[in-house]
Amino acid sequence: MEEQMYKASTSAQHYLECENCEENPAIFLCKTCPGHLCENCRSEHEQKKITRNHDIISISSNNEGVVELLFCTDHTKKKLECYCDPCGKPVCTECIVQSHNGHAVKTLSVVYNKIKTNMQLKKDEIEKDLIPKYKKLLATEDDKRSSLTKEAEEIENEIKMHTMNMIQIIKTMGKRTMSHLQSEKNRGLQEIDNTKDKIMKRIQWLKQMDSILFAKLQARPTISFFESVDDNGLKNLRILPTQPDFAFDHFKPGNITKYIQDNFGMFPNLHQKQVASLRGLMYEPWTERSKSNSRALTAPFYSQLGRHQPSPMPKGRDASDFDIW
């Protein structure tokens, strides 16, 4: 999709050449000839006796007038006369006689203006609504990243202080617990980075769509103007994704006078906090994934000690439930 959008955007940037001098970009259209003219050739056209009364319009200011000069793709010598509503395509008189007889038709200018208005509405929605909302989502991810890192550092200090009061075997458990914390922190930071990447990809898609709509609105209309823009992609992006937020379970020192190894402390597992709604934003639902990852991380450590594993986290608090989009 991105490659197709890029081709459409770059192709719309090629200027229309003057059909008289074949050198300069055309900015006028002679509806009488018809033909495209640059500034100099337009002046010559208006001075010559044989062409001085021709109807010349500006291409950029009156695209609706250019629509009246489009030719049928099936009958190349026939101008398009109207728009077949049931078939959804511009047609000439031959088309109406041969395959569109009895169909409801509309004037090209009416359909052109309707499509143009719809494109402008989409363009305004992208620029004024969707892109600002996604930029706001992106900014919150940076704040959450700093907060999660700070919280992890604070918990790490608690673990260190607790470990210093233990005998050598407890120091070993302390190192393993901190290693688990780092792993959980990295997993949380990676989830946040993944969310940021996906938000940035959506913003990039919206910007590319915005460029395509801008190019279509500015360029001289052709038959491709009546083709549908990627409404499905834009429709999907109107529903903003929910953003996962994470926090750690606080490190809880155990009773060192009894079964030290079993009571060293609860691992600070990463969990997803309740997502707070942002005013004016819509969110996609999250899909649950397997909740075995968190328990699997702790199993090898406790199995080596020959002790019981800590109780699993309550339903809905597992850090593995991070399926974005």
Q: Average pLDDT over the chain, rounded to whole?
A: 75
Assign 186 a pLDDT band (cuts: 50, 70, 90). very high
Q: What would the mean pLDDT of 58-68 be, rounded to a whole number?
A: 63
Contacts 24+ apart (CB under 8 A), 288-291: 288/321, 288/323, 289/320, 289/321, 289/322, 289/323, 290/320, 291/315, 291/318, 291/320, 291/321
Position 20 pLDDT exceeds 60: yes
Higher pLDDT, 60 or 110: 110
- pLDDT at position 7 over 60: no
User: What pLDDT sits at residue 29?
Assistant: 82
Higher pLDDT, 321 or 70: 70
Residue 276, pLDDT score = 57
Structure tokens at 250: 């606080």
* pLDDT higher than threshold 90 for residue 68: no
Span 275-300, average pLDDT = 43
- Percent of the chain surpassing pLDDT 90: 19
pTM above 0.85, yes or no: no
Higher pLDDT, 281 or 145: 145
The answer on pLDDT for 218 being more than 80 is yes
41-45, 130-134, 257-261, 283-287: range with lowest mean pLDDT: 283-287
In 3D space, the residue among 167, 184, 320, 323 whose CA is nearest the CA of residue 250 turns out to be 184
Average pLDDT over residues 262-277: 75
The string of DSSP codes covering 18-67 is PTTTSSSBP-EEETTTTEEE-HHHHHHHHHSTTTTTS-EEETTT-HHHHH
Tokens of 218: 């500015």
Please, which pLDDT band fits residue 69 given cuts at 50, 70 and 90? low
Q: Contact 69/54 with Cβ under 8 angstroms?
A: no
The residue that leads in pLDDT, 150 or 320, is 150
Sorting pLDDT into bands at 50, 70 and 90, what band is 150? Answer: very high
- Of 94-103, 126-135, 159-168, 275-284, the range with the lowest mean pLDDT is 275-284
At 58, give phi and psi (nearest 5°): -80, 130
Tokens at 189, concatenated: 């930071």
pLDDT of residue 151: 92
* For residues 39-47, average pLDDT: 89
Q: Would you say residue 232 has pLDDT above 50? A: yes
Cα separation, 246 vs 272, in Å, equals 4
Q: What's the pLDDT at 64? A: 58
Residue 161's pLDDT band (boundaries 50, 70, 90)? confident
Token readout for 255 is 């009773």
pLDDT over 90 (residue 128):
yes
Q: Looking at residue 291, what is its pLDDT?
A: 39
Confidence of residue 204 (pLDDT cuts 50, 70, 90): very high
